[in-house]
Amino acid sequence: MTMKTNKILKEDSLLLNLQVNDRDDAIRKVSKFLSSRVKGVNRDFLARELIKRENEGPPIATRKGFTILHLRMKRLDGIYGVAVRLTKGVDFGEPNGNLTRLVFMFVNPLERNEDYLRLLSRINRLLSKDKVNEKLFDARTKQEFLNALAEYDV
């Protein structure tokens, strides 16, 4: 089964101008946004686990100004995600020193690992295209942001 990003990301799962102070603040605020949309996701647990993972090793998936944060969790009925564009870049440990301005966060049920891995791979491939990133960073509205994803998510 191929899962396109438009099955997960909708207008209500986007924030285009979030102000944050640093990486941990970004993770906490994006966790709060995602948990407000998904029953059974505890924002403090989500933020704590993602910050812990970021502190323990290399960035989960960071490059070209975007970061993909993800966590498998118990008691979820599907895959959920949000996309957040930050007002200023923050250091997520990108190897080339670029600052992150676009954060994608996904949570997934433990038992749906195959769908989860396919979605992460798809998002990573999609965001590796410079033209997509350019359009996502320049989008003035949520619809423009979604249109940019849809245009290249084939």
Q: What is the CATH number of the domain that holds 70?
A: 3.40.930.10
Cα separation, 140 vs 147, in Å, equals 11
Assess whether pLDDT exceeds 70 at residue 55.
yes
Domain membership of residue 1 (yes or no) is no
For the chain, what percent of residues have pLDDT higher than 70? 93
Task: Show the DSSP H helices in the chain as ranges.
Answer: 23-37, 43-56, 113-127, 130-138, 142-152
Domain membership of residue 3 (yes or no) is no
Domain membership of residue 31 (yes or no) is yes
Domain membership of residue 137 (yes or no) is yes
Looking at per-residue pLDDT, the higher value among 3 and 84 belongs to 84
Contact 66, 103 (CB under 8 A): yes
Assess whether pLDDT exceeds 60 at residue 98.
yes
Count of the separate structural domains present in the chain: 1
pLDDT at 59 (0 to 100): 59
Helical packing angle, 130-138 and 142-152, nearest 10°: 170
Domain membership of residue 4 (yes or no) is no
- Provide the residue range defining the domain that includes 45: 9-152
With CA atoms as reference, report the closest residue to 81 among 60, 104, 98, 113: 104
Looking at per-residue pLDDT, the higher value among 15 and 94 belongs to 15
pTM score: 0.91
Residue 113, judged by CB atoms within 10 A of its CB (0-12, 13-18, 19+), counts as exposed
Assess whether pLDDT exceeds 90 at residue 129.
no
Q: What are phi and psi of 79, to 5 degrees?
A: -90, 135
